[in-house]
């Protein structure tokens, strides 16, 4: 079955929106070969942009501008919200190319998207009506949810996304992907990681959040980028990274927490808000939330 057959037609605008983004996955994929260099620019977080960050951002914003149903887009690569079509029902949040610092070493990167039925992106994550990510790895895959399970498709040679996994449920293996500099970890997090290690969790951390969470989704375990000395909010961005992937993993039977409570309950108050993140199986999320109470 193909993506266009799989997405229900009950909400045609939402369906068009997801399909439009899916099409951009092919354009972005095609851009990799000739856009390997860094730019002279940094984004709002002070991170050096690579050509592909800027390209992927422009490709998606331009495409969404052609849909009457899209009111606004907030991108990790831009300081301000882009207003597109007044009267459009949806706002979109995106990290056009997560993990882009890995492009130079040919590791997997991806596009992360959150969709709200609201003209503004300032909503708690649980109000999302859809989320998806496209992974550019050995295969190009698209994983989406509209609140009815999580489904994964593979881009075939004919340019269609073909169903590979329907109703994915998070795995039960014991993997852990621990971000941030170990020497800057705070005590509850340190204790949590020690407990995982004592229980025999295997280390898996690539440096690409979207790819690491994808692995956790399939196999099980937990990805963390915690609060650390010097940044009580961690590194990852609430609107662009944590919420869409949190919504996705929750739909697959897992959970996402800032260590003290569900990430999807946080009401964002700024575009570049960061959040400590624990995302994975419910077992692991309960462990860190208990550790934080000690």
Which is closer to ligand F6P, CB of 133 or CB of 153?
133
Q: What is the pairing mode between strands 128-136 and 140-145?
A: antiparallel
Nearest residue to ligand F6P, scored by beta-carbon proximity: 209
Q: How far is the CB of 15 from ligand F6P (least distance, A)?
A: 28
CB 174 → ligand F6P: shortest distance, Å? 20
> CB–CB of 134/110 below 8 Å?
yes
Q: Min. distance of Cβ 204 from ligand F6P in angstroms? A: 12
With beta carbons less than 8 A apart as the criterion, state whether 188 and 291 touch: yes
Which C-beta is closer to ligand F6P: that of 215 or that of 251?
A: 215
Minimal distance in Å, beta carbon 179 to ligand F6P? Answer: 5
Report d(CA 114, CA 264) in Å as an integer.
Answer: 12
Show Cβ contacts of residue 292 under 8 Å, excluding neighbours closer than 6 positions. Answer: 188, 259, 260
How is residue 199 written in tokens? 């229980």
The minimum distance between CB 9 and ligand F6P, in angstroms, equals 34
**CA distances (Å), origin 24, targets 20, 21, 111, 175:** 7, 5, 10, 32
Contact indicator for 225, 209 with CB cutoff of 8 Å: yes
* Closest distance to ligand F6P from the beta carbon of 49 (Å): 12
Q: Using CB under 6 A, list all residues that contact ligand F6P.
A: 98-99, 101, 179, 207-209, 225, 235-236
CB closer to ligand F6P, 135 vs 236: 236
**Nearer residue to ligand F6P within complex by CB, 74 or 84:** 74
Beta-carbon count within 10 A of 46 CB: 6
H helices of the chain, where? Answer: 3-6, 12-31, 51-65, 187-198, 209-219, 243-251, 282-293
């Amino acid at each position: 079955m193909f993506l266009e057959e799989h997405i229900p037609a009950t909400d045609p605008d939402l369906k068009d929106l997801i399909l439009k983004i899916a099409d951009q996955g092919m354009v972005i994929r095609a851009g990799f070969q000739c856009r390997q260099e860094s730019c002279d620019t940094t984004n709002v977080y002070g991170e050096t942009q690579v050509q592909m960050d800027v390209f992927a951002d422009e490709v998606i914003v331009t495409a969404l501008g052609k849909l009457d149903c899209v009111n606004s887009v907030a991108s990790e690569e831009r300081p301000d919200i882009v207003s597109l079509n007044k009267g459009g029902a949806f706002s979109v949040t995106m990290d056009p190319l997560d993990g882009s610092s890995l492009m130079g070493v040919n590791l997997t990167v991806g596009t992360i998207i959150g969709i709200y039925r609201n003209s503004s992106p300032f909503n708690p994550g649980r109000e999302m009506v859809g989320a998806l990510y496209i992974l550019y790895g050995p295969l190009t895959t698209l994983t989406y949810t509209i609140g009815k399970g999580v489904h994964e498709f593979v881009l075939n040679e004919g340019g269609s996304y073909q169903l590979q996994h329907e109703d994915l449920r998070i795995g039960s293996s014991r993997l852990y992907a621990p971000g941030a500099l170990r020497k800057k970890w705070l005590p509850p997090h340190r204790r949590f990681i020690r407990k995982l290690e004592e229980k025999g969790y295997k280390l898996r951390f690539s440096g690409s959040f979207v790819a690491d969470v994808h692995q956790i989704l399939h196999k099980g375990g937990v990805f963390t980028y915690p609060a650390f000395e010097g940044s009580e909010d961690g590194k990852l961005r609430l609107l662009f990274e944590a919420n869409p992937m949190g919504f996705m993993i929750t739909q697959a039977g897992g959970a996402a927490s800032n260590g003290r409570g569900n990430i999807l309950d946080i009401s964002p108050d700024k575009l570049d808000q960061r959040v400590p993140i624990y995302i994975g199986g419910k077992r692991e999320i309960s462990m860190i939330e208990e550790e934080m109470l000690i």
